[in-house]
Amino acid sequence: MKKYSNDKNINVLVHQLLQSGVWHIRRGRHPVLTAPSGKRLTVPSTPSDRRAFLNFKLDVRRLQGL
């Protein structure tokens, strides 16, 4: 399993999104997720905030339109 973030919960969520086959990722200094709508979201690779996973999950839900 590839590692996109040091936070295990963020890593699992990114893997779930990629397995759906609709989301794509571009690797670089910071991984960037591309939503089905074409909008992009930077993956926090070294989150220092304890709420980083919750904030990332909320951003993903907003891009999904839920």
Residue 27 CA to residue 48 CA, distance in Å, equals 20
Q: What is the DSSP letter of 35?
A: -
The DSSP bridge partners found for residue 40 are 34
pTM: 0.90
- Around 63, how many Cα atoms within 13 Å sit in the side-chain half-sphere? 19
Confidence of residue 1 (pLDDT cuts 50, 70, 90): confident
pLDDT of 64: 87
Count of C-beta atoms within a 10 Å radius of residue 56: 23
